[in-house]
């Protein structure tokens, strides 16, 4: 997320330095090698490095001295109790404070704007300020309780929150053409600095090859720190709830013999509902929804509030994963000794991200029931190798037909475009009876699958 943001801000005309503590990663990025698979990113990074607008460094203090704005874009992994782990955010904030207390920082003309882009619990703006102060006090050798002041050495900064809404797989596009930019800060000058920074994106004046431009202008939402932090949790939890809602409807559709695709289409045309995020199937995963919903539930509980709707959102999602196993059991009876192919391992298409990927959970459940699982993914195969233990829990194939060879059943776990074009006749002849296809994303056409001699089971499709 930091890399995408940095590269995009460089492209719109700013001078950007991306700092990472991992020297190897900094060296790789400088040479144009990407640590993740993200469409369009490599070309963008290499281009901006070539233009001299983007560079990589391990020197946080040196970068802070030069910067007008510092984005904190480190990860906030989920702790055991569901809450977000802020140790990386805290460590960076402390180092920024330390840098601001150094003599070089006295040359600063304007306050440094420290922007939280990591998803952090409501109230983290204050936490970041506190750690900047502490870091400055430690570096200056004395503690200061007055915000912005460190024993004579002025620690001049502002904290802002700028939640990130980009989606993996289309992160570059989302950064250039966002639905909105949200900025939370308690001081006017911080909002002004950030407005100026985002001006080329807000006004859509930066160079692009997209013709026509997808957006005319981008709404810039300014609010207080706590509300900005809350917007991110509310947006992701709403989307996760929307998916769980349609999955609940899908289950009822199956019982009454209705088709969830038609239901979602008919519902989605109501502008108040909207058609997006109404695809039923095995549910949501990834690096954001599971973590953010868990964090919001944990925040609510801190205040003794039971978040009933969010609890249900998670329960429905867990039930969808189990639904795959139930469908397989219903058709195969016993899973012992059965070979099952997973088509797609990444949590969604166009990424190699396996965080909270349904494929991993499903592979574990199937293995525990005595099945042999082999997975194929167009890009995430290598990352999946040896990820689960024991190593034979999930075998990885590098060709879809190889994964399907001799399989009693196949599960479409990720809706990669590639799977739409599978030669179903070839699939049927290489699989073993009952030649079952559980379509976890309602991707395939049931009649085409049936006509090829395969047995089809989707989610909520009558």
- Residues noted as catalytic: 288
Binding-site member from 17, 144, 193, 236 for ligand UDX (CB under 6 A) = 236
User: Is residue 352 part of the contact set for ligand UDX (CB under 6 A)?
Assistant: no
**135 Cα distance to chain centroid:** 30
Q: Which residues pair with 55 in a beta bridge?
A: 17
User: Is residue 285 part of the contact set for ligand UDX (CB under 6 A)?
Assistant: yes
Place of tokens 């202008």: 217
Binding-site member from 37, 56, 71, 284 for ligand UDX (CB under 6 A) = 284
Single out the residue of 44, 28, 462, 48 nearest to residue 263, CA to CA: 462
Q: What angle do CA 59, 63, 68 make, to 5 degrees?
A: 165
User: Is residue 229 part of the contact set for ligand UDX (CB under 6 A)?
Assistant: no
User: Is residue 278 part of the contact set for ligand UDX (CB under 6 A)?
Assistant: yes
Single out the residue of 121, 162, 125 nearest to residue 147, CA to CA: 125
As a whole number of angstroms, the distance between CA 113 and CA 131 comes to 15
Stretches 52-60, 69-77, 254-262, 280-288: which one binds ligand UDX (CB under 6 A)?
280-288
Q: Which of residues 402-431 bind ligand UDX (CB under 6 A)?
A: none
Binding-site member from 21, 167, 188, 265 for ligand UDX (CB under 6 A) = 167
Single out the residue of 179, 190, 193, 183 nearest to residue 224, CA to CA: 183
Binding mask 125-164 for ligand UDX (x = CB under 6 A): ---------------------------------------x
User: Is residue 288 part of the contact set for ligand UDX (CB under 6 A)?
Assistant: yes
CB of 449 to ligand UDX, least distance (A): 20
Length of the chain: 462
User: Is residue 401 part of the contact set for ligand UDX (CB under 6 A)?
Assistant: no
For residue 259, which phi and psi values (nearest 5 degrees)? Answer: -110, 115
Residue of closest CB approach to ligand UDX? 288
Say if residues 159 and 116 touch (Cβ distance below 8 Å): yes
Say if residues 174 and 167 touch (Cβ distance below 8 Å): yes
Binding-site member from 173, 220, 277, 401 for ligand UDX (CB under 6 A) = 277
CB of 241 to ligand UDX, least distance (A): 11
3-class secondary-structure state, position 214:
coil
The residues that touch ligand UDX, with contacts defined as CB under 6 A, are 164-168, 236, 239, 243, 277-279, 281, 283-286, 288-289, 347-348
């Amino acid at each position: 997320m930091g890399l995408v943001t940095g590269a995009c801000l460089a492209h719109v005309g700013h001078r950007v330095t991306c700092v990472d503590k991992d020297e190897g990663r900094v060296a790789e990025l400088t040479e144009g090698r990407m640590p993740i698979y993200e469409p369009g990113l490599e070309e963008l990074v290499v281009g901006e490095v070539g233009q001299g607008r983007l560079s990589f460094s391990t020197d946080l203090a040196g970068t802070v001295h030069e910067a007008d704005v510092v984005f904190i874009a480190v990860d906030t992994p989920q702790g055991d109790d569901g809450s977000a782990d802020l140790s990386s955010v805290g460590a960076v904030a402390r180092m920024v404070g330390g840098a601001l207390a150094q003599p070089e920082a006295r040359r600063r003309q304007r306050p440094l704007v420290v922007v939280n882009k990591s998803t952090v619990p409501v109230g983290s703006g204050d936490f970041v300020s506190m750690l900047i102060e502490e870091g400055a006090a430690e570096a200056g050798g004395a503690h200061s309780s007055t915000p912005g002041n460190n024993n004579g050495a002025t620690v001049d900064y502002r904290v802002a929150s700028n939640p990130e809404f980009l989606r993996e797989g289309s992160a570059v596009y989302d950064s250039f053409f966002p639905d909105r930019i949200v900025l939370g800060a308690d001081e006017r000058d911080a909002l002004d600095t950030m407005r100026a920074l985002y001006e080329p994106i807000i006004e859509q004046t930066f160079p692009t090859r997209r013709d026509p431009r997808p957006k005319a202008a981008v709404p810039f939402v300014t609010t207080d720190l706590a509300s900005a932090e809350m917007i991110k949790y509310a947006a992701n939890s709403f989307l996760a709830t929307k998916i769980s809602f349609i999955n609940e409807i899908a289950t009822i559709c199956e019982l009454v013999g209705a088709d969830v695709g038609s239901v979602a289409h008919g519902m989605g045309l109501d502008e108040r509902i909207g058609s997006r995020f109404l695809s039923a199937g095995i549910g949501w995963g990834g690096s954001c929804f599971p973590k953010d919903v868990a964090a919001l539930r944990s925040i609510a509980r801190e205040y003794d509030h039971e978040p009933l709707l969010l609890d249900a959102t998670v329960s429905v999602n867990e039930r969808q994963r189990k639904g795959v196993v139930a469908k397989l059991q219903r058709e195969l009876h016993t899973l012992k000794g059965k070979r099952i192919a997973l088509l797609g391992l990444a949590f969604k298409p166009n990424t190699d991200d396996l965080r909270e990927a349904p494929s991993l959970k499903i592979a574990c459940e199937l293995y525990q029931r005595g099945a042999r699982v082999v997975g194929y993914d167009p890009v995430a195969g290598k990352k999946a190798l040896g990820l689960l233990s024991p190593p034979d829990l999930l075998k990885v194939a590098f060709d879809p037909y190889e994964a399907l060879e001799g399989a009693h059943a196949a599960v479409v776990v990720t809706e990669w475009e590639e799977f739409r074009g599978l030669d179903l006749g070839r699939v049927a002849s290489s699989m073993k009876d009952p030649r079952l296809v559980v379509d976890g994303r309602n991707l395939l056409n049931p009649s085409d699958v049936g006509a090829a001699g395969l047995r089809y089971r989707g989610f909520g499709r009558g």
